[in-house]
Structure 1
Amino acid sequence: MKKFGSLILGILLGALAMYYYFNNNQDMTTEPPTIKPPSGIITPEEIKTLDQAYNERYEIINDSLFKDSKTGDNRSSWYKLEDIENYLAYAKQQAKENGNTLDGLRLYLGAHPDTKEEEGLTTLLFVPTGYKNTSEGSFISMQGGGNDLEDSDGLNAGNEGMPPRANYPQ
């Protein structure tokens, strides 16, 4: 009778373990997970609208500063995906080392300095944003957010548009 009770108990425990295993491992599909789009996504039509709305400003800048230029000022910057991914990892690490938490990136318009060889074209700079880590006792307090992390490096290694004055799409 003892052996029979142990057998029944073993079967019940085995069935319970199998039930738990199969119910927690049902997500064995071969399809990749659906990625939810982030906030701020715009359609190609909206991109064209924003790009065209910039034309008047671009012409004012270009006609006044680049009137004798062969190419005109730059309208876009292109970054390799690998460079952006590496920069995000680097910015997170640098922010942590500096006692900050990275919470985003800000894009600034900038311009390369003019040289004897060429005029300095407009560029886009990535600047990390975040907040200082402060602690009170064992609690971590988050203050603000979205502020430029002035002790962190930015990214400016994009290539200009082809040609520099080209509208969307290139």
Structure 2
Amino acid sequence: MKSEDTKTAVLPKQLISTAKAKELNQNFITKRADLNKKAIGKEDANAIWYSLEELENYIEYIKSSGSEKGFVVDGIRFYFGVYSESEGKGKAGYTTLFLSPTGKSINEKRAVELTEEEAGNSQDIALIEPLNFGSMGNPPKMEYGV
């Protein structure tokens, strides 16, 4: 007998190999990290971490809040940002990553399943708060798989 927590996993279509992930991360480090360091005068964050619980809670929140506000939430868009100097010494000037729910008004007659092209055009739902404040590690620079 399966517990309620046990679900059959569906293999995501967007998976990449760990070798590809290492390549992408190294490309970022060699092509962007030094430019960021020169621009802000310190090593910048290049990885952000959220716990599974935080992500699961946020997904449940945006689905529920979206429904209450008249939206079908169809995804999450990830935005890069930079903390202002007023954030204090621990975050000021560092890159951050925040999550914004996307979707369409329930009033729009459309299927919930989106094509890849439609998903890229999905609109941010500004009536639902974005999620921020993941951990960027200490020091902020990390390398994938190291």
* Superposed pair shares fold, TM > 0.5: yes
- Could you give the per-residue CA deviations for residues 18-37 of structure 1, whole angstroms, max 9, x where no partner exists? xxxxxxxxxx689x665221
- Determine the structure 2 residue equivalent to 1:126: 99
Q: 1:54 is paired with a residue of what secondary structure?
A: helix
- Determine the structure 2 residue equivalent to 1:167: 143
Relative to structure 1, the CA distance from residue 162 to residue 168 in structure 2 (aligned partners, 3 Å threshold; closer, same or farther) is: farther
Relative to structure 1, the CA distance from residue 73 to residue 96 in structure 2 (aligned partners, 3 Å threshold; closer, same or farther) is: same
- Determine the structure 2 residue equivalent to 1:49: 23
**Conserved 8 A contact 1:92-1:102:** yes
Q: How does 1:21-170 map to 2 (within 5 A)?
A: 34-55=8-29, 56-66=31-41, 69=42, 72-115=43-86, 117-118=88-89, 119-134=92-107, 141-142=109-110, 146-169=122-145
The one-letter code of the counterpart of 1:158 is G
Unpaired runs of at least 5, structure 2: 112-117
Number of paired residues? 133
Rg comparison, structure with higher value: 1
Query: C-alpha root-mean-square deviation of aligned residues, in Å?
Result: 2.3
More strand by share: 1
Q: 2:140 is paired with a residue of what secondary structure?
A: coil
Unpaired runs of at least 5, structure 1: 1-27, 136-140
Structure 1 length-normalised TM: 0.70
